[in-house]
Amino acid sequence: MLDKAEQARCRRESVKRTFGRSRIPRQSYQGCQPPQPPTLIGHNHGSLVEDRTVIFGHLMTVEVPGEDVKKAVGETVSFRPDTLESPVTSIVWKHVSLSTVKAIEWDVDDGVIIPNQRFKDITTLDEKTGQITITNLKVEHSGEYTIDINSKEQGQRFSLEVMERVPKPKTTIEESSNPDVVYLICEYSGTIIWRNSAGETLNGSKHHRTGEFITVKKKGNPENYYTCTLENAVSDETSDPVYERDLFKTGEDVKRAVGETVSFRPDKLESPVTSIVWKHFSLSTVKVIEWDVDDGVIIPNQRFKDITTLDEKIGQITITNLKVEHSGEYTIDINSKEQGQRFSLEVMERVPKPKTTVEESSNPDVVYLICEYSGTIIWKNSAGETLEGNKNHKPGEFITVKNTRNPENYYTCTLENAVSDETSDPVYERDLFKTGNAEKH
Domain boundary (208, 229, 247) is at 247
Same structural domain, 146 and 204: no
- Range in 6-20, 98-112, 129-143, 245-259 with the lowest mean pLDDT: 6-20
Of 441 and 343, more confident:
343
Same structural domain, 305 and 266: yes
117-129: pLDDT as tens digits:
999 999 999 999 9
Residue 95 included in any domain = yes
Could you give the CA distance from residue 149 to residue 53 in angstroms, rounded to a whole number? 25
What contacts 350, CB < 8 A, 6 or more positions away? 257, 258, 417, 419, 420, 422
CATH of the domain at 240: 2.60.40
Could you give the CA distance from residue 187 to residue 189 in angstroms, rounded to a whole number? 7
Check the CA dihedral 63-67-68-72 and report its sign: positive
Residue 233 included in any domain = yes
Same structural domain, 179 and 238: yes
pLDDT at residue 54, as a whole number: 37
Computed over every residue of the chain, the mean pLDDT equals: 83
Q: Residue 43 pLDDT > 50, yes or no?
A: no
Residue 9 included in any domain = yes
294-304: pLDDT as tens digits:
999 999 899 99
Same structural domain, 75 and 135: yes
Mean pLDDT of 150-174: 93
Give every strand in the sheet of 308-311, ordered side by side. 262-264, 316-319, 308-311
Could you give the CA distance from residue 43 to residue 157 in angstroms, rounded to a whole number? 17
Could you give the CA distance from residue 203 to residue 194 in angstroms, rounded to a whole number? 7
Same structural domain, 134 and 53: no
Residue 438 included in any domain = no
Of the pLDDT bands very low, low, confident and very high (cuts 50, 70, 90), residue 281 is very high
Nearest to 432 by CA among 419, 441, 423: 441
- The 10 Å Cβ neighbour count of residue 388 is 7
Residue 91 included in any domain = yes
Of the pLDDT bands very low, low, confident and very high (cuts 50, 70, 90), residue 251 is low
Q: Which residues lie across from 440 on neighbouring strands?
A: 357
Q: Where are the beta strands (DSSP E) in 307-382?
A: 308-311, 316-319, 328-334, 337-338, 343-348, 356-360, 366-371, 376-381
CATH of the domain at 298: 2.60.40.10
Domain boundary (332, 348, 364) is at 348
Q: Residue 153 pLDDT > 60, yes or no?
A: yes
Of 101 and 48, more confident:
101
* CA angle centred on 169, ends 212 and 351, rounded to 5°: 100
What contacts 212, CB < 8 A, 6 or more positions away? 185, 186, 192, 194, 204, 205, 206
Domain boundary (136, 163, 190) is at 163
Q: How many residues does the chain have?
A: 441
How many domains are contained in the chain?
Answer: 5
3-state SS, residue 439: coil
Model confidence, pTM: 0.47
Residue 281 included in any domain = yes
Of the pLDDT bands very low, low, confident and very high (cuts 50, 70, 90), residue 17 is very low
What contacts 271, CB < 8 A, 6 or more positions away? none
State which residues form the domain around 326.
254-348
Residue 441 included in any domain = no
Nearest to 65 by CA among 46, 93, 80: 46
Same structural domain, 231 and 243: yes
pLDDT at residue 85, as a whole number: 86
Of the pLDDT bands very low, low, confident and very high (cuts 50, 70, 90), residue 249 is low
Same structural domain, 79 and 42: no
Same structural domain, 76 and 45: no
Residue 32 included in any domain = yes
366-420: pLDDT as tens digits:
999 999 888 899 999 999 899 999 987 678 899 999 999 999 999 999 999 999 9
Same structural domain, 277 and 315: yes
pLDDT at residue 19, as a whole number: 36
